[in-house]
Amino acid sequence: MIEGINRNGSEQAYREITLDSSSSLKDFALDRRKYYRKYIINEDVKEEDNQASIMGRLVETLLLEPELFDERFHMSACVSTPTGLGLAFVEALYQFTTEATDEQGNVTRTFEDISRDAYEKAGYKLSYETVINKFIGSDSEIYYNEIRTVRANNLTVVTADDVANAERVVEGLKNNEFTSDIVNLVDSKKYTVKNQFQVEGYSVDGHKFKSMIDKVIIDHFNQSIQIYDLKCVWAVEGFYREYYLYRRAYIQAYLYYRAVKSLTEDTESEYYGYTVEPPRFIVCDSINYYAPLIYELTKEDLKDAYEGFEYKGREYPGVKTLIKDLQWALDNSIWNISRENYENKGRVKLISK
């Protein structure tokens, strides 16, 4: 039986496949309510952009799929996008404007009402009047009007400075002694290189998933497959704590491994019998100051990712438990309490540390 299928379709086609992924399992791990809203009742849950996430998508696109730049990004007329509280204000303004827009495209609240709500959410210490006077006629106002138009088409607004910085990061990856051999590798008799490699319909503990992996390098001579995921972060040397643990990237690593493993176990696959090596993260600096690093997982790391583990007194649930909890929530349509607390009849024992 074929468990995982590689179609290598468009990103949009991949997004439309109604299967769980490492992203949705991470959402469930961190916020069951968010999972319910996004994937059960199909609510349009807006993900808040920040400069780091935008830069990550830019670098990934320019490095792996530069031909898709115009399908994903809109070049802003602004010299630079707002940052800090200014960005928080614009994003809040966008959110409240969207919420106040009816089906005909009419905004049903006044700008003053919306902007006062945005001002409160942004957390300014300056007066409202000072903030608005600085906003009107500024690049921030241009940016606000751009994202209102562009985000409806699923595009991300970026500036020329953003793109220039991303291009520097890409050049750094291509020329760095640690990463150049990986990112510059092309197809040959020995290697097949796949960017944004898609696998759908593979099973982990009876639950079906899909995955889209940044880079997969298939070594036909050694019959081995290496998985790479690209991360663009502010603190390269703090990746383990701030991303692998805090953002649950270990879930992604494990599911990517199982996705490719499913192909090597399929007798009809061209990769049947190949060995899948533990995944690696290529971690680069979003301002291209610090050298990129390659974080390598071991088989023990994969075991921990599946079974769960502890780091400095904090427990991190494994994929095994998360799938069990998710399947219980799906089967019972219960999202406002965890499986464990429900089975314990709402009683939780306090344990002194």
pLDDT band (50, 70, 90) for residue 352: low
For residues 117 and 15, membership in a common domain is answered with no
* Residue with more model confidence, 322 or 43: 322
Cα–Cα distance list, 179 to 103, 175, 224, 296 (Å): 49, 7, 19, 13
Residue 13 has pLDDT above 90, yes or no: no
* Residue with more model confidence, 9 or 289: 289
For residues 263 and 305, membership in a common domain is answered with yes
- pLDDT value for 276: 98
The residue among 339, 342, 341 whose CA lies nearest residue 329 is 339
DSSP type of residue 5: B
For residues 63 and 144, membership in a common domain is answered with yes
3: in domain:
no
Q: What is the mean pLDDT of the chain?
A: 92
For residues 264 and 156, membership in a common domain is answered with no
Over residues 317-337, the mean pLDDT reads 97
For residues 119 and 217, membership in a common domain is answered with no
- pLDDT value for 3: 59
Residue 291, token pair as written in the block: 């050298």
Q: Which of 111, 135, 169 is the last residue of a domain?
A: 169
- pLDDT value for 54: 87
121, exposed or middle or buried, with CB in 10 Å at 0-12, 13-18, 19+? middle
166-222 tens-digit pLDDT: 999 999 999 999 999 999 999 999 999 999 999 999 999 999 999 999 999 999 999
Separation between Cα atoms, residue 15 and residue 12, nearest integer Å: 5
189: in domain:
yes
- Which residue is listed with tokens 């002194």? 352
Residue 247 has pLDDT above 60, yes or no: yes
Residue 150 has pLDDT above 70, yes or no: yes
For residues 148 and 239, membership in a common domain is answered with no
For residues 254 and 335, membership in a common domain is answered with yes
305: in domain:
yes
For residues 256 and 318, membership in a common domain is answered with yes
Q: 40-49, 55-64, 256-265, 287-296: which has the minimum mean pLDDT?
A: 40-49
135: in domain:
yes
228: in domain:
yes
For residues 180 and 255, membership in a common domain is answered with yes
- pLDDT value for 49: 61
pLDDT band (50, 70, 90) for residue 31: very high
- pLDDT value for 2: 46
pLDDT band (50, 70, 90) for residue 5: low
Q: State which H helix or E strand residue 132 sits in.
A: helix 128-135
Separation between Cα atoms, residue 6 and residue 201, nearest integer Å: 9
Domain count across the chain: 2
> The domain containing residue 144 runs over which residues?
49-169
Residue 319 has pLDDT above 50, yes or no: yes
351: in domain:
no
100: in domain:
yes
* Residue with more model confidence, 92 or 350: 92
Separation between Cα atoms, residue 113 and residue 12, nearest integer Å: 36
- pLDDT value for 142: 93
348: in domain:
no
Q: Rounded to the nearest 5 degrees, what angle is found at the Cα of 251, between the Cα atoms of 249 and 257?
A: 105
Q: Which of 108, 142, 169 is the last residue of a domain?
A: 169
pLDDT band (50, 70, 90) for residue 294: very high
pLDDT band (50, 70, 90) for residue 17: confident
264-275 tens-digit pLDDT: 999 999 999 999
Residue 1 has pLDDT above 80, yes or no: no
Percent of the chain at pLDDT above 70?
Answer: 95
Gyration radius of the chain's alpha carbons = 22
For residues 61 and 165, membership in a common domain is answered with yes
Three-state SS at 318: coil
Q: Which of 169, 202, 232 is the last residue of a domain?
A: 169
pLDDT band (50, 70, 90) for residue 312: very high
- Which residue is listed with tokens 């960005």? 87
Over residues 282-304, the mean pLDDT reads 96
